[in-house]
Amino acid sequence: MEINWGLIWPILALQAILAVTGLVSLFKAEPANIRGPRWMWVLIILLGNILGSIAYFAAGRRET
Amino acid sequence: MKPFWIYYQKEMLEASRTYKWIWVPAVFLLLGIMQPVSTYYLPEILTMSGEVPPEAAALFTIPSADSVMASTLSQFSTIGLLVLVLAGMNTVAGERATGTAELVLTRTVSTLPMMGAKWAAMMTLMLVSFALGLAGAAYYTHQLIGPLEWGAVASGGLLYAVWLAWIVTLVLPLGAVLRGPAAAFISLGTAAALSLLSGLLPSRFQWSPGRLSSMAAEWMLGAGAGAWAPVIAALLIMLLSIIAAAGLLRRSPLSPQS
Amino acid sequence: MTEKLLSIHELTKSIGSITPVKGISFDLKRGGCTALLGPNGAGKTTTLRMLAGLIPPTRGEIKHGSADKQTNDWRHRIGYLPQYPKFYSWMSGKEYLSFSAKLSGLSGQKALQRSQEVIEMVGLQQASKRRISGYSGGMKQRLGIAQALVHEPELIMLDEPVSALDPIGRREVMDLLNRLRGEVTILFSTHVLHDAEEICDDMVLMVDGEIAEKGALSELRSKYRQPVLSIEVEPGERELAWLHGLSKRSFVQEAEVGKHRAKLTVTDMGAARAALIKELADNGIELLRFEAGTSSLEDMFMKVVGP
């Protein structure tokens, strides 16, 4: 069975969109509005796949 | 009607400024696409992992197209629902906790348009994300696994949207009393408890909106039973939730500490 | 110009077993500036929140203007600034103002135009397109005043508008309020008498949920301007005994006696001065200081507010 990359790349693209959006939001936020250190969230977003980005969007930022 | 639109615009702007309009649809689309793709490549993955002999992997039969769609729904029930509730948990609780409600509520008499707009904005995000996810799942299933009955997918999807809607709506009244994370936890807990109960005692819980997720899966498999009672129950819960949330917010627009 | 814009009668708020506001009554004149003065915990914030319609009073009534007391459109005719205003930090200053104006019934175009006007009025032109999350404390307070003004209200109510600001921010806000005087009726709460005297004509002094004193500042000033004699003596037994005897003199209205000084509020300065100087000489009191003057509003305020 041949792997059809035309089917796979949208998955990779969506994961990239999630991670990039998370990182953009992380670096635009004031340090005071981030829960915990920034580098920790960078690692979580980059290594945690979908769940890492979800975790950041759900819990990473403080309401001001 | 006018205050409703002002709030609705504000909620939609807030959701896009806080990136909700990117990450929530992206998560749903990912969940929708990954289910058919991973099902399709499962024999390959099993072979490559080396834990299953190739002969056994070859025996693995790819499930039918409509059952792949039904199992996509169960993906939406876990991560998808979690994402929606997390994205919505601070719409009311956040305004109370940060104190932004104080200035807004001096300008309006009724909190109903505000609450209605918050609900409508949550529903917009939910429907768009879920429709994207379902469409992605259907397209991939159709391409990889086999033809689908589009009518069954659409009607099952519609029923499933009602299930998502009533659980997400619960965070409005809960957020008017509790903090965001607590509201999220309780609404997810309520959903889990109701679907567990209606699974254990199906005859007693004919009306329970907790049945909607499993009914939607059945509809997708083409075996649909009538769903009026749970749908009406879900709609009633939503209506009552919005009214209760509006009343509770008017009574205590500020979190206790201020 | 003595039309009543707001009158409250026997306004009371109970929360559980405590009653932060205990039946207060006062009126606001159109175009006037009234300070709601009092120490922390006097019930000022609770009073303003009731007037802004945020919390319902337990008893008493609030009448807005003379007409339409039943309709709710009075909300569009008041502007309110809470003590710690909180904005949607993801909006820009201008977006927030236009959102607020629309909520108060202005059309989209009018809302934009008024937002621009108040932005210029409070001097936030440069920051108007930036997100509020990047504003300083003083900028947020000015934005708060701008949102209270954006819908052209008749009455603005400000809760401690300068308390949380540094001296520069405080000066900016006080100057702004001074410019607004006359254009709009102002009610603002403060715990600093000096702030009240700087911009207001009238004051309502609240202590422990009740009104301790109210009226025009000029009247109150003359009411509390009383002759005061300050006397300071060398430490000594004879001197101490003499000081303690002072409060029994017929011309002494009130006496504050310390270890070697006394402060006497007297009815007739001439008679008191003559009598006391004679006594000092006759008894051979070793005098350090003898000063005739008048008391001020500040003395009254400190006495009412103090422990």
Half-sphere exposure of B103 (CA within 13 A, CB side): 28
- Is C103 within 8 Å of B104 when comparing Cβ atoms? yes
Distance, in angstroms, between A50 CA and closest chain C CA? 25
> CB burial class (10 A; 0-12, 13-18, 19+) of residue B163?
buried
User: pLDDT confidence of B257, banded at 50, 70, 90?
Assistant: very low
Strand pairing category for C252-257 and C227-233: unpaired
The CA distance from B219 to A26, in Å, is 42
Give the N- to C-terminal CA distance of chain C in Å, as an integer. 39
Q: Does A17 touch chain B (CB under 8 A)?
A: yes
Q: C71 or B32: which carries more pLDDT confidence?
A: B32
Distance, in angstroms, between A4 CA and closest chain C CA? 42
- Assess contact for B253 and C54: CB atoms under 8 A: yes
Q: Where are the alpha helices (DSSP H) in C123-213?
A: 137-149, 167-180, 193-199
User: pLDDT, tens digit, for every residue of C88-139?
Assistant: 999 999 999 999 999 998 898 999 999 999 999 888 999 999 999 888 888 8
Of C5, C256, A53, the residue nearest B19 (C-alpha): A53
Mutate one of C46, C73, C86 to test the B interface: name it (highest B CB count within 10 A). C86
- Is C134 within 8 Å of A64 when comparing Cβ atoms? no
The answer to whether residue A2 scores a pLDDT higher than 70 is no
Calculate ∠ Cα C275-C278-C283, nearest 5°: 120
Q: Does A10 touch chain B (CB under 8 A)?
A: yes
The CA distance from B72 to B30, in Å, is 11
The CA distance from B41 to A3, in Å, is 8
- Is A64 within 8 Å of C133 when comparing Cβ atoms? yes
Distance, in angstroms, between C69 CA and closest chain B CA? 14
Which residues in chain C are closer than 8 Å to B98, comparing Cβ atoms? 86
Residues 216-245 of B with CB under 8 A from C: none
Look at residue C171 and give its three-state secondary structure: helix
Region of poorest pLDDT, from B34-38, B129-133, B249-253, C138-142:
B249-253
Q: Which residues, 6 or more positions from C6, have their beta carbon under 8 angstroms from its beta carbon?
A: C27, C28, C51, C62, C63, C64, C65, C155, C185, C187
Residue of A nearest to B90 (CA): A63
* Predicted pLDDT at C54: 85
Reported in sequence order, the residue ranges of chain B that DSSP labels E, i.e. its strands, are: none
- Assess contact for B106 and C80: CB atoms under 8 A: yes
Distance, in angstroms, between A10 CA and closest chain C CA? 31
Residue of A nearest to B86 (CA): A58
User: What mean pLDDT comes out for the span C186-213?
Assistant: 89
Kindly provide the ipTM of the predicted complex, given to two decimals: 0.88
Domain ranges of chain B: 2-251
User: pLDDT, tens digit, for every residue of B8-31?
Assistant: 999 999 999 989 999 999 999 999
User: pLDDT, tens digit, for every residue of A4-62?
Assistant: 777 788 888 999 999 999 999 898 888 888 888 889 999 999 988 888 888 898 888 77
The answer to whether residue C74 scores a pLDDT higher than 70 is yes
Cα A55 off chain centre by = 8
Residue of A nearest to B84 (CA): A58
User: pLDDT confidence of B114, banded at 50, 70, 90?
Assistant: very high
Question: Domain C224-305 - what CATH class?
Answer: alpha beta
- Is A54 within 8 Å of B23 when comparing Cβ atoms? yes
Q: Does C236 touch chain A (CB under 8 A)?
A: no
Residues spanned by CATH 3.40.50.300 within chain C?
A: 4-221
Q: Nearest by CB to A63, which of B20, B26, B98?
A: B98
The CA distance from B136 to B48, in Å, is 26
Which residue shows structure tokens 């939503």?
A: B238
* Predicted pLDDT at C66: 54
Neighbouring C-beta atoms of residue C158, cutoff 10 Å: 25
Q: C299 or C118: which carries more pLDDT confidence?
A: C118
What is the DSSP annotation of B209-231? GGGHHHHHHHHHTT-PPP-HHHH
- Is B109 within 8 Å of C100 when comparing Cβ atoms? no
Residue of A nearest to C88 (CA): A64
User: pLDDT confidence of B258, banded at 50, 70, 90?
Assistant: very low
Which residues in chain A are closer than 8 Å to C133, comparing Cβ atoms? 30, 33, 64
User: pLDDT, tens digit, for every residue of C36-65?
Assistant: 998 888 889 999 999 988 888 898 888 877
* Predicted pLDDT at C164: 80
Q: Does A31 touch chain C (CB under 8 A)?
A: no
Half-sphere exposure of B47 (CA within 13 A, CB side): 12
Residue of C nearest to B4 (CA): C103
| pTM for the structure as a whole | 0.85
Considering the domain C4-221, what is its CATH architecture?
A: 3-Layer(aba) Sandwich (3.40)
